[in-house]
Amino acid sequence: MGKKYDFEYIVIGSGPAGSAAALTLSKTKKKVALVEGNLYGGSNLNTRDVPYSVALDFSHTYSKVLSLPEFKNQDLSFSLPTAVSHQSKTTLDAKGNDSKPFEDAHITCINGYANFLDQNTIAVGNNKYTAATFILATGSRLKTLEISIPNSIKYLTPDNALRIRRLPKVAVIVGGGSTGCEIAEYYAELGVKVIILEMSSRLLPREDKEVGETMTEYFTKELGIMVCPNCKVVALEQNNDIKSVIFQNGSSEKMVRTDCVILATGSIPTTDYGLENANVKYKSAGIIVDKYFQTSAKNIYAIGDCLGESDSSTERADYEGTLLATNLANRTKTLANYKGFIRTTDTFPEIAVVGLNEDDLAKRDRKYLKSIIYNHEITAGIINQLNYGFTKLLVNKNLQILGATIVAPNAKLIAEEIAIAMRHNFTVLELAGTPHPINSYNYAVKLTAKKLLKR
């Protein structure tokens, strides 16, 4: 007779990966527990995806209205506390920090931080819980290891940067990746002087260089943002309300003073909960799993951002949670298929990347053909006087789609068409032959495809 455990499954972390796994497993009628140490729904729901969408929609709209000639020289003030309250209300409407959906699915919710005692036992506070199978979905946390930060210094992070109720005069943002650019644009659109310190040679180093160059030009010319590449921040200091950011630029050390510092320095997987006690192998880059998400401990699986994958997203985490839970419930071994997932940055213009970009292909030493159409070349761009952004399509010699990069309004929606085409192995022939509204930005997809067919 097998050993009796408190639960068949314990899921640690209620973000998109953990939520999807727990809710899927609850349908098996087995005993499922969900452990959450902070906010139910995870940071994606509570402090990032929903609040960021609301905040950025507000700042983009305000900035666009101010740019219209009809409103030139008009005093259009706004209430920031009201805007922030709207973020909070929308998050609540989206079931942020709400355990009820899990409880309604007969999942036992355990509040607190888990720590492994052995391969089948965790401690949460003063209580112990056992399970036959564990699923780790503990996400990630802000990476600040390379910066000297005294405990007395107050700084903002991506989790709270868009929720302050009084704007600073100057904001220094450490990090020019996707999140750093979103935060920079939010502050600049609302009238704050913004400085971005990025340690690589350009903004958005994960994307192709045209993307970073386009956003740098837009930021500097349209929003007055100061973009400083090749700047590695090494320390923060504070004297009364004035903060100093010390950074290295080449061989010299420099400093900038500000009343607001925001760290958008990327993330590292959360792994500090006794994994060694459970014989789970991990590195600084994340928990080690096989192609079925199984760790070195046969009864423990890991999904989502705690794996440390560079292309992490809410959609990918949700997909992994659902896939793993379905495999466990049905005793199947379906492999993950990541073709067609979209990486996005919610700036204006939006940035969406599906599949591989040119940097990815160069690292893999793969040959490809490319086609690019700029927004100012199409009707939508002319109508809206948009001189920034483009649609770029990459294909192999058989015209199969390898990837696309889009910098345009509604880039996420435009990328969906390409994602579907990639997921179902369509070629650019199908894209070129599909009708597209001529006054829309996605008409560029048709034009890039047609250019490739002429080669």
Query: At residue 88, what is the residue type?
Result: S
Over residues 110-116, mean pLDDT: 98
Cα gap 120→78, rounded to integer Å: 54
Question: Token digits for 86?
Answer: 């709207």
User: For 309-320, b where at least 16 C-beta lie within 10 A, e where not — what string?
Assistant: beebbbebbbbb
Beta bridge partners of 282: 287
Percentage of the chain beyond pLDDT 90 is: 92
Query: At residue 392, what is the residue type?
Result: K
Cα gap 229→238, rounded to integer Å: 23
Over residues 120-125, mean pLDDT: 98
> What is the four-CA torsion angle of 439, 440, 446, 450, rounded to 10 degrees?
40
Check if the beta carbon of residue 450 is closer than 8 Å to that of residue 375: no
Decide if pLDDT at 255 tops 90: yes
For 22-31, 96-105, 187-196, 232-241, which range has the lowest pLDDT when averaged over its residues?
232-241
Decide if pLDDT at 273 tops 80: yes
Over residues 220-241, mean pLDDT: 95
Per-residue model confidence (pLDDT) at position 1: 43
Q: Among 206, 208, 210, which Cα is nearest to 198's?
A: 206
Question: Number of C-alpha atoms within 13 angstroms, CB side, residue 278?
Answer: 33
Q: How many CB atoms lie within 10 A of CB 186?
A: 23
Check if the beta carbon of residue 76 is closer than 8 Å to that of residue 65: yes
For CA atoms 40, 41, 42, 44, the dihedral sign is negative
Give per-residue pLDDT as tens, 127-140. Answer: 999 999 999 999 99
Q: Under DSSP, is residue 125 helix (H, G, I), strand (E, B) or coil?
A: coil
Question: Number of C-alpha atoms within 13 angstroms, CB side, residue 201?
Answer: 3
Per-residue model confidence (pLDDT) at position 73: 75
Question: Number of C-alpha atoms within 13 angstroms, CB side, residue 437?
Answer: 6
Per-residue model confidence (pLDDT) at position 56: 97
Mean pLDDT value across the chain = 95
Query: At residue 123, what is the residue type?
Result: A
pTM of the model: 0.95
Cα gap 248→136, rounded to integer Å: 38
Decide if pLDDT at 104 tops 60: yes
More confident residue, 219 or 284: 219
Over residues 265-289, mean pLDDT: 96
Structural element, H or E, at residue 352: strand 350-355
Decide if pLDDT at 144 tops 90: no
Per-residue model confidence (pLDDT) at position 2: 61
